[in-house]
Amino acid sequence: MNNFSLEQSILNHKLSFVDLELEQIKQNNLYRKLRYGKSEQAHITINGKKLLNLCSNDYLGIPTTKIKIKQMQSSSRLVSGNDELYKILEEKLAKHKSQQNSLIYPTGYMANIGSITAIAKKGDLILSDELNHASIIESCNLVGAKISIYKHNDMSDLNKKIKEKAKNKFVITEGIFSMDGDFSKLKEITEITEKAKAITILDDAHGDFVVGIDGKGTPSHFNVANKIDLYISSLSKGLGSFGGYVSSQNNVIDLCINKSKSFIYTSALPSFLVEYSLKRFETNREKQRKKLESNTNMLAKGLRQMGYQIDSKTHIIPIIIGKEKTALDFGEFLFKRGVFAQPIRYPTVPKNKARLRLSVTAWLSKKDINTVLSIFEQAAKQFKT
């Protein structure tokens, strides 16, 4: 054995636990692999097969915006990467959220990590909905505060848990839950936080630009916009651009600039993406929102008529299947017939709560939705939900 293959075999041996772990994932039907494709408007093409895309977060389907790329990158924002377009977009986003100021991060995930770790600390109490997104859970875990998980949207559980003594108390929830498509009970939550003098943090990644007056998001939908202390959102979903941001009062934004590691120690989002967001922000979003609403109603109504249990009232429509293997088979059935609806499994959702998460976009035409419905009608015979 030469030196190289000897080293290789030692390395293989040292890393054999990786194979074991992968094998376990496969045995539990939880193995994930990347599929390469090209997304364009209502479609995605995978291995040459053109499918209707029901997995896109580009909810508003704003027609593609032309921008000129001058420079891709400079450095972090606190060094020389702070393009003047940031200021314009941040001011617009602050107004959009009726807040004093905003701060853009490279992604929504980084906005969660950066802002939650900046504002909360050891000795505090964070109350977090049990279905909150992984980026919220990870962020809370980094804080070192006591984390108290309340049952999903269960206000009596939240009311009970918020009574615990702590220096500062935070309640964090999503606006529209990413995997269930249901609204958080934001009106009740803000009443509870107000009474307990707790700080309300809202991750509205899926409600922003989509619901509420002029797409101002879930708080506007519930008329509690002035009760949210810290907004976190993504530019990569409803707006169909890229990036994340937070909106709050000036001192909170200042603290984020000074403490968020995911803001300070990373390269600035390329300025052409800021320009892209700005241009999309200025389009006729209302027209797209109306189309999305009508598409959502049409798909949900059609599915209900076929006997699928659809509880969602939003553009995120989960069809709960249960077993991971059945969800995979269902996804494959749709794939073969030209519909892309990726099965969602543990750990993204609880075990045995595997589902197809359909996301509606304004890219879809009525004809597209009728096609999708006819395929789900065929599926209904085989996959009872």
Ligand X SMILES: Cc1ncc(COP(=O)(O)O)c(C=O)c1O
Give residues in contact with ligand X (CB under 6 A).
107-109, 112, 133, 135, 174, 178, 203, 205, 234, 236, 244
For the sheet containing 343-344, what is the strand order?
316-322, 354-359, 343-344
Torsion angles phi and psi, residue 175, rounded to 5:
-80, -60
In the bound complex, which residue of the shown chain has the CB atom lying closest to ligand X? 108
Minimum CB distance to ligand X, residue 277 (Å): 12
The smaller minimum CB distance to ligand X, of residues 205 and 328, is found at 205
Cβ 314 vs Cβ 289: under 8 Å:
no
Minimum CB distance to ligand X, residue 17 (Å): 30
Minimum CB distance to ligand X, residue 56 (Å): 12
The smaller minimum CB distance to ligand X, of residues 180 and 275, is found at 180
The smaller minimum CB distance to ligand X, of residues 313 and 337, is found at 313
**How far apart (Å, rounded) are the C-alpha atoms in residues 380 and 321?**
12
**How far apart (Å, rounded) are the C-alpha atoms in residues 319 and 303?**
10
The smaller minimum CB distance to ligand X, of residues 239 and 375, is found at 239
Minimum CB distance to ligand X, residue 165 (Å): 29
Residue with tokens 């320009």: 275
Cβ 27 vs Cβ 16: under 8 Å:
no
Q: What does R_g of the chain's alpha carbons equal in angstroms?
A: 22
The smaller minimum CB distance to ligand X, of residues 174 and 324, is found at 174
Minimum CB distance to ligand X, residue 207 (Å): 9
Contacts of 330 (CB under 8 A, 6+ apart): 319, 321, 343, 356, 379, 383
Cβ 51 vs Cβ 339: under 8 Å:
yes
Minimum CB distance to ligand X, residue 103 (Å): 14
Give the residues across from 231 on adjacent strands.
202, 247
Which among 267, 246, 219, 226 has a CA at the least distance from the CA of 118? 246
The smaller minimum CB distance to ligand X, of residues 247 and 385, is found at 247
